[in-house]
Structure 1
Amino acid sequence: MANSDTLDRPATKSKGGAMTKTNEGRFFEDYTVGQVIRHAVPRTVSGGERALYHALYPARHALYSSDLFAQSCGLPSAPIDDLAAFHVVFGKTVPDVSLNAVANLGYAEGRWVTPVWPGDTLRSESEVIGLKQNSNGKTGVVWVRTRGLNQHDELVMEYVRWVMVRKRDADAAAPETVVPELKPVLAVGDLSIPAGLDFTGYDFELAGEPHRWGDYEIGEKIDHVDGVTVEEAEHMMATRLWQNTAKVHFDATFRPDGQRLIYGGHVISMARALSFNGLANAQMIVGLNAGAHANPCFSGTTVRAWSEVLDKAKTEAPGVGAVRLRLVATSAGGSMELKGDDGKYLPHVLLDLDYWALMPV
């Protein structure tokens, strides 16, 4: 049975030998498969998070911008942006999962289950589902399944991610290797459609583009044209907003190159917002199949984006179709190349994200 350890983080000693009350974060040898971590601190979200999210990114999807538009689509009001809710849930996991991470390696099996509304209180918990020490003996990979819950203990979202974490003691024994089996792609039946969602009366003019589900072809690529240069101040504000305490994002002395790494979620939200130009009607993200932060992003980088249509499916909700999209963020305009002949991501690729979104048919 999984063990819960909200507060029993490993005790550490100061140079003088006394026990310290500060949290240095977990290292690789502090994790065990089956361990359940309840993360601090619950957060009540409001319209303030929406306003800041829309200030930080050029987010314009109508369903998240207008109560009236959301009501015309069968919802009681505009939910909090799907990725804003993701960042809140994700940020809470950082002190326990990735404070000592070298890199966030990937995502899988992500589902947005229940919309988040202003006034909801979100909390997070994670279960360790896999461990594998790296051959250098200095780091290891930790897989966790994180669940975001609201004040009613309803599942808001869940996802798996894996991170490379430093070891405290390179001589510590390696744990038994457990690599979880994960779905490469969520089936349409795995997706949760918000109760009442109905796109039969969808207003394409107010949404900003005329393109509907039937207008997109599998294999089609869309250059989203626009670009945004990442500023240090905006990245720092965003990362603090999500209460993400990872050292690589704040402490310029933590990396050998003296640069603060841009939070990968900042790149995800920037690319998603840029995708409005060409995918304005891909209104709601409901599934995350896979994701990789292919190359680091730093202040001064101009982020651009393109998408590829990977699959399409109809849903049981009236007028609602699902479209599977690959969203790629790059630091170079014009190129839609993803990997080189060696199978590795090209240097200009920042993000490769595979997700399901809902769109009017």
Structure 2
Amino acid sequence: MADAPTVGVEEEFVLLDTRTGAAVPAAPRILAALRGEPGVVPEFLRLQIETLTGVCHSLAEVRADLTRLRRRVSEAAEEAGCLAVATGVAPFGTTPLVTADARYERLAARFPDLVAGAGTCACHVHVGIPSRAAGLRALTGLRPWLAVLLGLSANSPYVAGADSGLASARYPLWSRWPTARPPAAWRDVAGYDAAVAEAIRGGAAPDARGVYFYARLSPRHPTVEVRIADVCLDVDDAVVLAGLVRALVATALRGEVAAQPSDAALARALRAAARHGLDRTAAARLLAHARPALAESGDLEVVHRGWAGLADRGGGAVRQRALRAVSATPAEFAARLATVTRGTEDESMEAAR
């Protein structure tokens, strides 16, 4: 375990009105209440809030940080008269007010047509790398599994109060951004840097942070950052995702890389994952590929137990639909989602089991 890469997780949440279930721009109030908490930060829109774990060495640390931060944000949201919910898209519509931050305001000015569909919520997993060249090898190793990771995390079936028919409605919304695309099979770091520079030079991104490859070399940290996943409905699923991403990176750094799909094949697989969600057969292949790295890091039992639970109860989209079916109103549905997000249980949650 001592040699396992470090891992960190960023989670984005949407803030919902307790009476209507609609998204509300309450982030400034919550951030003011949590000013002393470095693990809670603003996001692009005021209806969102983001949490950041520390640099973790074990999945136990990841779980502890995620649990603590979800509860802190949930409590602050309750005090502000709203609900913090882990869902890839606000289920009952949004008011897209941009956060008062110079960088976000420049982004909104450059892409005004995308603001209305923004506010989607993701889970980003960071895995430590010894060098950018090693990170590029990790991106190559991750590329064949991006659709599986999307399917595992798919957690956004509802848009504007209606069932979208997708497991991840976030995926097509987020993919409208000009640089939101899979990483290419770059031969070297120079090729990667050239692609980032071209995106900025051509106006597709304002800076390196605005280049939204589904997996990328972090422009701020010595990590590979996997951005394909929806925010997970509960901590258990987020821990599984973090463990799998770390194992895939460790496997790639050892030189073990699955066959590379063509761009067209990867695009088809991503669309299928967004529509159908969890693919048990593909996930089983990923688990087999990553098993040695999971065993070496000490994560094998935790990930297999979490995967079994996820496969048994269904992914986030399945659970959301079950919760919506037993909710009489949008407000009741939002409250149920908030309960699962926070990690507290009651008898009404049996619908999502």
User: Greater strand percent: which structure?
Assistant: 1
Higher relative contact order (CA 8 A, sep 6+): 2
Please say whether Structure 1 and Structure 2 have the same fold, judged by a TM-score greater than 0.5: no
Question: What TM-score, normalized to structure 2?
Answer: 0.25
Indicate the structure (1 or 2) with the bigger Cα radius of gyration: 1
